[in-house]
Structure 1
């Protein structure tokens, strides 16, 4: 079992995500989750594991947002679980790591793989909560869907 990793900032979480190598590919970009409504950075994170979809809820204003292409795969009738830290808390700072394909002729890069990580706001424990492969393109716009 790997040793627990703790952090205190987005930089710590980003470094943790860069080591993830989802699907055996390097994480090329990490984007911090920021509420589009209030610029909050405290979230409850929910995962629909069967469909590999993630939704975050801002703990400051209640605004919900889907991560990357999760809106396409979310099923309200499916089993959805709220992420919880080993310390029992459910409030997180979250970030999304993206593995990218090589640039196309125009210099654009499609997303190959998505990995969602979070830092517990109570104890600082860093964790990976979901990852999935993106099998379609163009998908570069997903970088703005953290």
Structure 2
């Protein structure tokens, strides 16, 4: 197994074990920039429940899940930082689905590129339908 695959598996497990909102994570999508890079700085707000990636190579920004719809409500985003002080991560979004296959909860997990610690940094409930556009991003 490659190092990249092992790191993705560790990140996936950390998101699945978190089970945000008490729901099982049914699907995990990994962030990959259009330039092919898989490491990012991440800005987020836990109060408003938004997150976005900034590519460590080309600096392209991308909102995660439905964050683009809510960034205007954020007073000041925070840059994610690992307890080791590093601020570069592999990023994945976990989706808990309801019985109809609609997204009911999103969990954003990060795996530090320096020390390998992985965990969920922000999560939020989805209370609208349809949600297929969220899964299309994963």
Global fold match (TM > 0.5): yes
More helix by share: 2
Provide structure 2 residue ranges, at least 5 long, that are not aligned to the other structure: 1-5
Find the structure with the greater CA-based Rg: 1
1:49 matched to 2:46:
yes
TM-score for the superposition, normalised by structure 1: 0.86
Match in the other structure for 2:83: 86
Structure 1: where are the runs of 5+ without partners?
Answer: 1-7, 104-108
Offset at residue 77 of structure 1 (A): 5.7
Does the 8 Å contact 1:48/1:75 carry over to 2? no
- Residues 1:132 and 2:129 aligned together: no
Secondary structure (helix, strand or coil) at the match of 2:10 reads helix
1:16 partnered with 2:8 = no
* 1:95 maps onto 2:110 in alignment: no
RMSD: 1.3
Aligned to 2:3: none
Q: TM-score, normalised by structure 2?
A: 0.91
4+ long deviations beyond 4 Å:
none
Q: 1:59 and 2:51 equivalent?
A: no
- What is the total number of aligned residue pairs between the two structures? 133
How many angstroms apart in 2 are the aligned matches of 1:50 and 1:38?
A: 31
Measure, in 2, the Cα distance between the counterparts of 1:12 and 1:50: 27
Secondary structure at the counterpart of residue 121 of structure 2: strand
